[in-house]
Amino acid sequence: MKKLINNPERAVDEELAGMAAAHGDLIRIIEPNVVLRRDAPRPGKVGVISGGGSGHEPMHGGYVGMGMLDAACPGAVFTSPVPDQMLAATKAVNAGAGVLHIVKNYTGDIMNFELAAEMARAEGIEVASVVIADDVAVKDSLYTAGRRGVGGTVLAEKIVGAAAEAGADLKTVAALCQKVQDNVRSMGMALTSCTVPVAGKPTFELGEDEMEIGIGIHGEPGRTRMKLAPADEITEMLATPILDDLPFKSGDTVLAFVNGMGGTPLMELYIVFNKLAQILKGRGIAIGRSFVGNYITSLEMAGTSITLLRLDDELTRFWDAPVHTPALRWGV
Protein backbone atom coordinates (compact mmCIF):
# COMPACT_ATOMS: atom_id res chain seq x y z
CA MET A 1 0.00 0.00 0.00
CA LYS A 2 1.41 3.35 -1.07
CA LYS A 3 -0.60 6.21 0.42
CA LEU A 4 -0.05 9.67 1.88
CA ILE A 5 -1.19 8.70 5.34
CA ASN A 6 0.34 8.55 8.80
CA ASN A 7 -1.79 5.91 10.41
CA PRO A 8 -4.61 4.01 8.66
CA GLU A 9 -6.77 4.08 11.81
CA ARG A 10 -6.48 7.87 12.03
CA ALA A 11 -6.91 8.71 8.34
CA VAL A 12 -10.48 10.02 8.52
CA ASP A 13 -9.85 12.04 11.71
CA GLU A 14 -6.76 13.67 10.21
CA GLU A 15 -8.62 14.35 6.97
CA LEU A 16 -11.37 16.17 8.89
CA ALA A 17 -8.83 18.17 10.88
CA GLY A 18 -7.23 19.18 7.58
CA MET A 19 -10.58 20.22 6.14
CA ALA A 20 -11.28 22.37 9.18
CA ALA A 21 -7.83 23.96 8.87
CA ALA A 22 -8.28 24.64 5.15
CA HIS A 23 -11.92 25.70 5.07
CA GLY A 24 -12.60 27.15 8.50
CA ASP A 25 -14.43 30.06 6.85
CA LEU A 26 -17.07 27.64 5.51
CA ILE A 27 -17.23 24.68 7.88
CA ARG A 28 -16.43 23.43 11.34
CA ILE A 29 -16.08 19.92 12.68
CA ILE A 30 -18.13 18.89 15.71
CA GLU A 31 -18.16 15.64 17.66
CA PRO A 32 -18.75 12.86 16.78
CA ASN A 33 -17.23 13.54 13.33
CA VAL A 34 -19.79 15.85 11.76
CA VAL A 35 -18.85 18.42 9.11
CA LEU A 36 -21.09 21.37 9.91
CA ARG A 37 -21.75 24.55 8.01
CA ARG A 38 -19.93 27.35 9.82
CA ASP A 39 -23.08 29.40 10.39
CA ALA A 40 -25.52 26.54 11.17
CA PRO A 41 -28.28 26.58 12.20
CA ARG A 42 -29.67 29.22 9.83
CA PRO A 43 -32.84 30.75 11.28
CA GLY A 44 -36.00 29.54 9.51
CA LYS A 45 -34.12 27.35 7.04
CA VAL A 46 -34.77 23.65 6.45
CA GLY A 47 -31.61 21.74 7.34
CA VAL A 48 -30.22 19.43 4.67
CA ILE A 49 -27.82 16.71 5.74
CA SER A 50 -26.26 13.68 4.14
CA GLY A 51 -23.57 11.20 5.01
CA GLY A 52 -21.92 7.98 4.09
CA GLY A 53 -18.64 6.19 4.23
CA SER A 54 -15.48 8.20 3.73
CA GLY A 55 -13.41 7.65 0.60
CA HIS A 56 -15.80 9.40 -1.81
CA GLU A 57 -14.33 12.87 -1.39
CA PRO A 58 -15.30 15.54 -2.05
CA MET A 59 -18.69 13.94 -1.27
CA HIS A 60 -20.17 14.65 1.26
CA GLY A 61 -18.06 16.93 3.49
CA GLY A 62 -16.84 19.00 0.54
CA TYR A 63 -20.44 19.94 -0.22
CA VAL A 64 -21.18 21.55 3.12
CA GLY A 65 -21.76 25.28 2.86
CA MET A 66 -24.01 27.96 1.44
CA GLY A 67 -26.50 26.61 -1.11
CA MET A 68 -25.80 22.92 -0.54
CA LEU A 69 -25.55 20.78 2.64
CA ASP A 70 -25.83 22.06 6.20
CA ALA A 71 -23.96 19.05 7.56
CA ALA A 72 -22.31 15.83 6.44
CA CYS A 73 -21.59 12.67 8.43
CA PRO A 74 -18.49 10.82 7.28
CA GLY A 75 -18.18 7.21 8.41
CA ALA A 76 -15.06 5.10 8.35
CA VAL A 77 -13.78 4.45 4.83
CA PHE A 78 -16.61 2.84 2.81
CA THR A 79 -18.60 2.26 6.01
CA SER A 80 -21.84 4.06 6.68
CA PRO A 81 -21.71 6.49 9.60
CA VAL A 82 -23.30 5.64 12.94
CA PRO A 83 -26.68 7.04 14.11
CA ASP A 84 -24.98 9.20 16.76
CA GLN A 85 -23.44 11.26 13.95
CA MET A 86 -26.69 11.83 12.06
CA LEU A 87 -28.50 12.64 15.31
CA ALA A 88 -25.84 15.21 16.24
CA ALA A 89 -25.94 16.67 12.71
CA THR A 90 -29.74 16.82 12.69
CA LYS A 91 -29.81 18.63 16.03
CA ALA A 92 -27.05 21.03 15.00
CA VAL A 93 -28.76 22.13 11.78
CA ASN A 94 -32.34 22.16 13.01
CA ALA A 95 -33.71 25.69 13.18
CA GLY A 96 -37.28 24.60 13.79
CA ALA A 97 -38.14 24.16 10.08
CA GLY A 98 -37.22 20.48 10.02
CA VAL A 99 -34.35 18.51 8.52
CA LEU A 100 -34.04 16.53 5.29
CA HIS A 101 -31.85 13.42 5.25
CA ILE A 102 -30.47 12.59 1.80
CA VAL A 103 -29.61 8.89 2.02
CA LYS A 104 -27.82 6.79 -0.56
CA ASN A 105 -29.40 3.39 -1.02
CA TYR A 106 -27.07 1.04 0.82
CA THR A 107 -28.28 -1.37 3.48
CA GLY A 108 -26.06 0.15 6.17
CA ASP A 109 -26.80 3.77 5.29
CA ILE A 110 -30.55 3.11 5.31
CA MET A 111 -30.47 1.36 8.70
CA ASN A 112 -28.25 3.93 10.42
CA PHE A 113 -30.16 6.94 9.02
CA GLU A 114 -33.47 5.32 10.02
CA LEU A 115 -32.27 4.85 13.58
CA ALA A 116 -31.09 8.47 13.71
CA ALA A 117 -34.35 9.80 12.25
CA GLU A 118 -36.31 7.88 14.90
CA MET A 119 -34.14 9.33 17.67
CA ALA A 120 -34.44 12.87 16.26
CA ARG A 121 -38.23 12.57 15.98
CA ALA A 122 -38.30 11.37 19.57
CA GLU A 123 -36.63 14.68 20.45
CA GLY A 124 -39.32 16.61 18.60
CA ILE A 125 -37.44 17.37 15.36
CA GLU A 126 -39.32 16.97 12.11
CA VAL A 127 -37.28 14.74 9.78
CA ALA A 128 -37.94 13.73 6.17
CA SER A 129 -35.78 11.23 4.31
CA VAL A 130 -35.27 10.71 0.59
CA VAL A 131 -33.32 7.74 -0.72
CA ILE A 132 -31.16 8.17 -3.82
CA ALA A 133 -30.96 4.99 -5.90
CA ASP A 134 -29.78 5.89 -9.41
CA ASP A 135 -27.35 3.11 -10.42
CA VAL A 136 -28.80 1.25 -13.40
CA ALA A 137 -26.08 -1.43 -13.10
CA VAL A 138 -28.08 -2.98 -10.27
CA LYS A 139 -31.36 -4.67 -11.03
CA ASP A 140 -34.02 -3.23 -8.79
CA SER A 141 -35.77 -6.41 -7.76
CA LEU A 142 -36.83 -8.39 -4.75
CA TYR A 143 -33.55 -10.23 -5.08
CA THR A 144 -31.18 -7.33 -4.50
CA ALA A 145 -30.82 -4.52 -1.99
CA GLY A 146 -32.06 -2.27 -4.81
CA ARG A 147 -30.17 0.25 -6.88
CA ARG A 148 -27.20 1.97 -5.31
CA GLY A 149 -27.06 5.69 -4.77
CA VAL A 150 -24.17 7.08 -6.82
CA GLY A 151 -23.58 10.19 -8.99
CA GLY A 152 -27.15 11.41 -8.75
CA THR A 153 -26.52 12.11 -5.07
CA VAL A 154 -24.19 15.03 -5.85
CA LEU A 155 -26.77 16.61 -8.15
CA ALA A 156 -29.53 16.09 -5.59
CA GLU A 157 -27.47 17.73 -2.85
CA LYS A 158 -26.77 20.78 -5.04
CA ILE A 159 -30.32 21.25 -6.28
CA VAL A 160 -32.05 20.53 -2.97
CA GLY A 161 -29.53 22.68 -1.08
CA ALA A 162 -30.35 25.62 -3.35
CA ALA A 163 -34.08 25.24 -2.73
CA ALA A 164 -33.56 25.09 1.04
CA GLU A 165 -31.34 28.16 0.82
CA ALA A 166 -34.14 29.96 -1.04
CA GLY A 167 -36.50 29.27 1.86
CA ALA A 168 -38.53 26.26 0.65
CA ASP A 169 -40.26 24.28 3.40
CA LEU A 170 -39.43 20.69 4.35
CA LYS A 171 -42.23 19.14 2.30
CA THR A 172 -41.20 21.07 -0.80
CA VAL A 173 -37.51 20.31 -0.33
CA ALA A 174 -38.21 16.59 0.12
CA ALA A 175 -40.47 16.53 -2.95
CA LEU A 176 -37.77 18.24 -5.00
CA CYS A 177 -35.20 15.67 -3.84
CA GLN A 178 -37.58 12.89 -4.93
CA LYS A 179 -38.00 14.66 -8.27
CA VAL A 180 -34.23 14.58 -8.80
CA GLN A 181 -34.21 10.87 -7.90
CA ASP A 182 -37.04 10.19 -10.35
CA ASN A 183 -35.17 11.88 -13.20
CA VAL A 184 -31.57 10.79 -12.68
CA ARG A 185 -29.71 7.62 -13.75
CA SER A 186 -26.05 6.59 -13.52
CA MET A 187 -23.60 3.81 -14.30
CA GLY A 188 -19.91 3.37 -13.57
CA MET A 189 -16.85 1.30 -14.46
CA ALA A 190 -13.38 0.70 -13.05
CA LEU A 191 -9.96 0.29 -14.64
CA THR A 192 -8.35 -0.50 -11.28
CA SER A 193 -9.43 -1.44 -7.79
CA CYS A 194 -8.69 0.67 -4.73
CA THR A 195 -7.18 0.04 -1.33
CA VAL A 196 -9.05 0.74 1.91
CA PRO A 197 -6.31 2.14 4.21
CA VAL A 198 -7.01 -0.18 7.14
CA ALA A 199 -7.28 -3.20 4.81
CA GLY A 200 -3.90 -2.45 3.26
CA LYS A 201 -4.46 -4.26 0.00
CA PRO A 202 -6.71 -3.76 -3.02
CA THR A 203 -10.35 -4.80 -2.62
CA PHE A 204 -10.20 -6.80 -5.85
CA GLU A 205 -7.64 -7.58 -8.51
CA LEU A 206 -7.97 -6.49 -12.13
CA GLY A 207 -5.51 -7.63 -14.77
CA GLU A 208 -3.66 -5.08 -16.94
CA ASP A 209 -6.04 -5.78 -19.82
CA GLU A 210 -9.25 -6.04 -17.79
CA MET A 211 -12.00 -3.71 -16.64
CA GLU A 212 -14.98 -4.03 -14.36
CA ILE A 213 -18.35 -2.75 -15.65
CA GLY A 214 -21.18 -1.74 -13.35
CA ILE A 215 -19.19 -0.91 -10.24
CA GLY A 216 -20.47 1.09 -7.31
CA ILE A 217 -18.41 3.53 -5.30
CA HIS A 218 -17.06 1.25 -2.58
CA GLY A 219 -14.45 -0.71 -4.45
CA GLU A 220 -16.97 -3.51 -4.62
CA PRO A 221 -16.73 -5.64 -7.74
CA GLY A 222 -19.25 -4.92 -10.49
CA ARG A 223 -21.53 -7.16 -12.47
CA THR A 224 -19.16 -8.14 -15.28
CA ARG A 225 -15.46 -8.25 -15.94
CA MET A 226 -14.37 -7.69 -19.52
CA LYS A 227 -11.36 -7.14 -21.71
CA LEU A 228 -10.35 -3.48 -21.74
CA ALA A 229 -11.96 -1.56 -24.63
CA PRO A 230 -11.42 1.90 -26.15
CA ALA A 231 -13.02 4.85 -24.32
CA ASP A 232 -15.73 5.27 -26.97
CA GLU A 233 -16.92 1.68 -26.54
CA ILE A 234 -16.88 1.99 -22.75
CA THR A 235 -18.88 5.22 -22.98
CA GLU A 236 -21.48 3.39 -25.13
CA MET A 237 -21.61 0.56 -22.57
CA LEU A 238 -22.40 3.02 -19.79
CA ALA A 239 -24.61 5.48 -21.66
CA THR A 240 -26.91 3.00 -23.38
CA PRO A 241 -28.34 1.33 -20.24
CA ILE A 242 -28.79 4.79 -18.65
CA LEU A 243 -30.62 6.20 -21.67
CA ASP A 244 -32.82 3.15 -22.10
CA ASP A 245 -33.73 2.92 -18.44
CA LEU A 246 -35.61 6.14 -17.68
CA PRO A 247 -35.95 6.31 -20.72
CA PHE A 248 -34.44 9.59 -21.93
CA LYS A 249 -36.19 10.63 -25.14
CA SER A 250 -35.57 12.82 -28.16
CA GLY A 251 -36.35 16.40 -27.17
CA ASP A 252 -35.18 15.97 -23.58
CA THR A 253 -32.62 18.32 -22.10
CA VAL A 254 -30.15 16.80 -19.64
CA LEU A 255 -27.46 17.68 -17.20
CA ALA A 256 -24.58 15.45 -18.36
CA PHE A 257 -22.19 14.52 -15.55
CA VAL A 258 -18.98 12.62 -16.29
CA ASN A 259 -17.37 11.72 -12.99
CA GLY A 260 -13.91 10.41 -12.22
CA MET A 261 -13.54 7.64 -9.63
CA GLY A 262 -10.47 9.32 -8.09
CA GLY A 263 -7.53 8.03 -10.12
CA THR A 264 -8.50 9.07 -13.63
CA PRO A 265 -7.11 12.22 -15.25
CA LEU A 266 -9.45 14.90 -16.59
CA MET A 267 -8.05 14.23 -20.04
CA GLU A 268 -9.75 10.84 -20.02
CA LEU A 269 -12.98 12.22 -18.55
CA TYR A 270 -13.19 14.70 -21.43
CA ILE A 271 -12.56 11.88 -23.93
CA VAL A 272 -15.57 10.14 -22.36
CA PHE A 273 -17.59 13.35 -22.43
CA ASN A 274 -16.79 13.83 -26.12
CA LYS A 275 -18.31 10.47 -26.99
CA LEU A 276 -21.23 11.00 -24.60
CA ALA A 277 -22.06 14.29 -26.36
CA GLN A 278 -22.09 12.48 -29.72
CA ILE A 279 -24.37 9.75 -28.37
CA LEU A 280 -26.79 12.29 -26.92
CA LYS A 281 -26.84 14.29 -30.14
CA GLY A 282 -27.56 11.12 -32.08
CA ARG A 283 -30.61 10.53 -29.90
CA GLY A 284 -31.87 14.09 -30.17
CA ILE A 285 -31.11 14.87 -26.52
CA ALA A 286 -29.78 18.34 -25.68
CA ILE A 287 -27.07 18.94 -23.08
CA GLY A 288 -28.46 21.78 -20.96
CA ARG A 289 -25.71 21.72 -18.35
CA SER A 290 -22.48 19.77 -18.09
CA PHE A 291 -20.39 18.75 -15.10
CA VAL A 292 -17.01 17.01 -15.45
CA GLY A 293 -14.56 16.06 -12.70
CA ASN A 294 -13.90 13.94 -9.62
CA TYR A 295 -17.00 14.61 -7.53
CA ILE A 296 -17.97 11.22 -6.11
CA THR A 297 -14.96 8.98 -5.91
CA SER A 298 -13.80 5.60 -4.73
CA LEU A 299 -10.42 6.48 -3.20
CA GLU A 300 -7.70 6.09 -5.87
CA MET A 301 -9.77 3.89 -8.18
CA ALA A 302 -9.29 4.63 -11.87
CA GLY A 303 -12.52 4.69 -13.81
CA THR A 304 -15.53 6.79 -14.54
CA SER A 305 -19.24 7.05 -14.06
CA ILE A 306 -21.82 8.76 -16.21
CA THR A 307 -24.89 10.42 -14.70
CA LEU A 308 -27.72 11.97 -16.68
CA LEU A 309 -30.40 14.15 -15.08
CA ARG A 310 -33.44 15.15 -17.11
CA LEU A 311 -33.76 18.89 -16.62
CA ASP A 312 -36.69 21.25 -16.49
CA ASP A 313 -36.70 24.96 -15.64
CA GLU A 314 -36.98 24.37 -11.90
CA LEU A 315 -34.07 21.90 -11.71
CA THR A 316 -31.95 24.11 -13.99
CA ARG A 317 -32.62 27.19 -11.88
CA PHE A 318 -31.60 25.47 -8.64
CA TRP A 319 -28.55 23.92 -10.32
CA ASP A 320 -27.44 27.40 -11.41
CA ALA A 321 -28.12 29.01 -8.02
CA PRO A 322 -25.10 30.25 -6.05
CA VAL A 323 -23.12 27.71 -4.05
CA HIS A 324 -20.11 28.15 -1.78
CA THR A 325 -18.62 24.98 -0.34
CA PRO A 326 -15.08 23.60 -0.14
CA ALA A 327 -15.57 21.63 -3.37
CA LEU A 328 -18.16 23.59 -5.38
CA ARG A 329 -18.28 27.32 -5.79
CA TRP A 330 -20.11 29.42 -8.33
CA GLY A 331 -22.36 32.46 -8.44
CA VAL A 332 -20.68 34.10 -5.42
Partner 1 sequence: MSGSTPITYDDVIAWINTFAASVRDQKEYLTELDSAIGDADHGINMDRGFQAVIGKLPGLPNRDIGAAFKTVGMTLVSTVGGASGPLYGTFFLQLGTATAGREAIGLDDLIAALDAGVAGVQRIGKAEPGDKTMLDTLLPARDALREAAASGASLQDALARAVAAAEQGMLATIPLVARKGRASYLGERSAGHQDPGATSSYLLLKAAADAWSGAAGGTAN
Classified as helix, coil or strand, 308 is strand
Decide: 92 and 34 in contact? Cβ < 8 Å.
yes
Task: Give the residue with the Cβ less far from partner 1, 138 or 311.
Answer: 138
Q: Which of 23, 56, 60, 101 is catalytic?
A: 56
- Positions 131 through 160 that interact with partner 1 (CB under 8 A): 137-139, 142-145, 148
Residue 56 annotated among the catalytic residues of the structure: yes
Tell me how crowded residue 227 is: count the other CB atoms within 10 A of its CB.
8
Q: For partner 1, give the closer residue by CB, 124 or 143.
A: 143
Out of 23, 60, 101, 218, the active site residue is 218
User: Does 192 interact with partner 1 (rule: CB under 8 A)?
Assistant: no
Note if 60 is an active site residue.
no
- CA dist., res. 282 & res. 147, Å (int): 28
- For 122, counting Cβ atoms within 10 Å of its Cβ (0-12 exposed, 13-18 middle, 19+ buried), the class is exposed
Stretches 21-29, 159-167, 215-223, 274-282: which one binds partner 1 (CB under 8 A)? 215-223
If one asks whether residue 303 binds partner 1 (CB under 8 A), the answer comes out as no
Task: Assess 207 for contact with partner 1 (CB under 8 A).
Answer: no
Binding part of the chain for partner 1, among 166-174, 216-224, 276-284, 320-328 by CB under 8 A, reads: 216-224
Beta strands in the chain (DSSP E): 27-30, 34-37, 47-54, 71-77, 99-104, 127-132, 184-190, 210-213, 224-227, 253-260, 286-293, 303-310, 323-324, 329-330
Minimum Å gap between C-beta 22 and partner 1 is 25
| Interactions with partner 1, residue window 51-90 (CB under 8 A) | 53, 75-84
The answer to whether 33 contacts partner 1 (rule: CB under 8 A) is no
Q: Which residues contact 240 (CB under 8 A, 6 or more apart)?
A: 279
Task: Give the length of the chain.
Answer: 332
Minimum Å gap between C-beta 255 and partner 1 is 25
| H or E segment and range at residue 20 | helix 11-22
Q: Residues in the site for partner 1, rule: CB under 8 A?
A: 53, 75-84, 106-108, 111-112, 115, 137-139, 142-145, 148, 196, 198-199, 203-204, 216, 218-223
> Active-site residue numbers?
56, 218
